[in-house]
Structure 1
């Protein structure tokens, strides 16, 4: 079973403000909504915070079972607006190859720079909109979709270019402290986020279902990787 949950957060409450400002606190709070024996073999806990205005902040969660959000709503939301949880499976079962959907994804676009010594390279963030867009387009096939595109001529009129129907609508760097168990100390972490809004076409429904319940890219514990779909108006 997969559950989709929505919680409206209240920035007027102290705990609400703390969660909006501290991704480490939000990570711990989201994990605390579930028991320690939560099984994640068929899907992990994903979350994303969407802020449409200064006062409207929606926390979306996809999880293998329903969260217990009672305390979260009392301390950081409105008791008159309880958490809304629905079975996500009917949505997953509706996916078919060839369908077109509007999508939103907040991700941590990175690449690995080859290392001169040893097999592992250094992980670096993509920093420009063009780099981040190419990252998403390059990732799409392995997750069962393609970003819709069309061709148009360059401003000079002599070259035809491919334009993908996706926009990077928000970019920000998250900075927080995290405990490093390997070295036994706290360290500073910077996580670069990019929010993508666009239109996709399903190329492999099974792979896309897996992406919806397991996420895309890195930084999933800190609000990255959750892909959501809506009926396309295109």
Structure 2
């Protein structure tokens, strides 16, 4: 596995004029693997957009290395970086605490009486979105801790993560004029409860709309 990053050249509007919706970013990611495109056997690539210190980055997790030239298509010159992700995966162990960042599409299914198939709708409130992640932690191989803070006068436990970004980017599909997807970014601290399952979570992602920049969780050792 490889983790790649490039700074998006946001200040060059002529260069990035095509990046107006999630489908354009998806196409950028796919075109960064020309061998797969040519063979007609495209792999699933997890990706997301990070905003750090006023700069925007495209981050990709993939089985094969992307083509650096293609990845730099909308990027700042000299900012393409690719490194092996296997070393990190090999060092993970049960009980380990890690800082994490996850961009996801929190949704739930509403099924009315008499319907065979429910309707998938986004969670709207911060409380709903936080609970969405809490509910998925155990089956994803990790735990989200709770603690009682002295700054919390009612004595209610405080979770070890928070929501640091909420957006509604546009996705243009072929069948309609476009839809807006809920994009939520979580950051915090987790503890691995099932290392094999957790590795699968890092590789395969969490939630829906993975092709359009959702589901990628990255981790670093606890500070």
Q: Do the two structures share a fold, i.e. TM-score over 0.5?
A: yes
Q: Cα deviations across residues 14-45 of structure 1 (Å, max 9, x unaligned)?
A: 233542x42110011101111234464xxx30
* Preserved contact between residue 11 and residue 17 of structure 1 (Cα < 8 Å): no
Unmatched 5+ residue regions in structure 1? 180-184
Give TM-score scaled by structure 2 length: 0.90
Closer/same/farther in 2, CA of residues 156 and 78 from structure 1, 3 Å limit: closer
1:78, distance to aligned residue in structure 2 (A): 2.8
Secondary structure of the corresponding residue to residue 186 of structure 1:
coil
Aligned twin of 2:219: 229
Secondary structure of the corresponding residue to residue 25 of structure 2:
helix
* Preserved contact between residue 3 and residue 86 of structure 1 (Cα < 8 Å): yes
Aligned twin of 1:29: 28
Closer/same/farther in 2, CA of residues 8 and 122 from structure 1, 3 Å limit: same
1:144 is aligned to 2:141 = yes
**Cα distance in 2, alignment partners of residues 202 and 17 from structure 1:** 41
Q: Cα deviations across residues 165-205 of structure 1 (Å, max 9, x unaligned)?
A: 111101011123211xxxxx334211001100010000011
Measured on the aligned residues, the alpha-carbon RMSD in Å equals 2.0
**Cα distance in 2, alignment partners of residues 92 and 67 from structure 1:** 19
Number of equivalent positions: 218
Unmatched 5+ residue regions in structure 2? none
Bigger fraction of residues in strand: 1
Give TM-score scaled by structure 1 length: 0.86
**Cα distance in 1, alignment partners of residues 56 and 149 from structure 2:** 37
Runs of 4+, deviation exceeding 6 Å = 153-156
**Cα distance in 2, alignment partners of residues 140 and 215 from structure 1:** 12
Closer/same/farther in 2, CA of residues 68 and 112 from structure 1, 3 Å limit: same
